[in-house]
């Protein structure tokens, strides 16, 4: 009888754990007024302007871009998403070159916009 109750408790715990929210749920919850809205993030309307706002293309453009990659186009940025370096760099995570280099870290809201875009597949939209 004890084995059945232990199994029932374990099964219950698995069900509860599987219902917990993941970061995607948090990033797609409609925003309260005055908070960071990540529900409508797109490359053209949100991400590309943030690239400009933080001056990313001042180094990552031209014929000899810093780091050897361009951020002047969707394909250049998508390459950094695909190699896993974009989020690490903008969050200043250990083991990554903090970006923008020599500049102020992006706001938490702007970082969450990048995360939302990446979590949704980093679409060219």
Residue 16 lies in a domain: no
What is the widest separation between alpha-carbon atoms in the chain? 73
Range of the domain at 96: 22-119
Residue 49 lies in a domain: yes
Residue 76 lies in a domain: yes
Whole-model pTM? 0.71
Residue 9 lies in a domain: no
- Spatial separation of the C-alpha atoms in residues 104 and 58, rounded to whole Å: 15
Q: Which two tokens stand for residue 117?
A: 């875009």
The H helix count followed by the E strand count for the chain is: 6, 0
- What pLDDT is stored for residue 64 in this prediction? 81
Count of structural domains within the chain? 1
Residue 103 banded pLDDT, cuts 50, 70, 90: confident
Residue 125 lies in a domain: no
């Amino acid at each position: 009888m004890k084995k059945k109750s232990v199994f029932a408790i374990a099964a219950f715990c698995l069900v509860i754990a599987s219902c917990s929210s993941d970061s995607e749920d948090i990033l797609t919850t409609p925003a309260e007024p005055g908070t960071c809205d990540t529900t409508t993030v797109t490359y053209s309307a949100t991400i590309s302007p943030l690239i400009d706002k933080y001056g990313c293309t001042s180094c990552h453009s031209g014929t000899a871009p810093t780091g050897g990659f361009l951020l002047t186009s969707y394909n250049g940025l998508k390459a950094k998403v695909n190699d896993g370096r974009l989020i690490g760099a903008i969050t200043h995570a250990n083991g990554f070159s903090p970006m923008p280099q020599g500049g102020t870290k992006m706001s938490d809201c702007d970082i969450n916009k990048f995360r939302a875009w990446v979590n949704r597949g980093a679409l060219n939209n």
